[in-house]
Amino acid sequence: MTFIKTYESYVRKANFYEVLRFKRKAIEVMKEISSQPFSNLEIGSGYIYIGFMYKDLKDLTSANHYFESALNLCKHERYPYSSDYKKIIENFVGNGEFEKASKWNEHLIERASYEKKFLSLKEINLK
């Protein structure tokens, strides 16, 4: 395994493989971040990236595992709103994980206390 110095360098390398349609190799690269001295937000972001690659591969269970790992890792961190959160909640719903969808949707909506855009998650159909 080659040591890559920055989080961004992992993302660039994974993007390279993803563009070449080697999603599993890109996932492998991104999985290495958990053993590096990166912040919780960087590792969480990497897990979300992995989750979306699994989603593209139609492996919703693995995708949701990484989405939930990211949300758990960063639940006490302050981070900005992203439209990806809606896709994550919808992925939980699409895989029949309604309890997780509801739990994490509520958690994210609470973040409206510092960024109002999180309120848009109230519109998600959790059924």
Beta carbons of 91 and 55 less than 8 angstroms apart = yes
Higher pLDDT, 49 or 127: 49
**What radius of gyration do the chain's Cα atoms show?**
15
pLDDT digit string (tens) for 109-121? 999 999 999 999 9
Give the DSSP letter string of 58-105.
Answer: T-HHHHHHHHHHHHHHTTTS-----THHHHHHHHHHHTT-HHHHHHHH
pTM value?
Answer: 0.90
Closest by CA position to 51, among listed 6, 104, 109, 117: 104
42-63 pLDDT, tens digit each: 999 999 999 999 999 999 999 9
Q: How far is CA 114 from CA 11, 20, 87, 89, 108, in A?
A: 28, 39, 21, 20, 11
DSSP for 6-34?
SHHHHHHHHHHHHHTT-HHHHHHHHHGGG
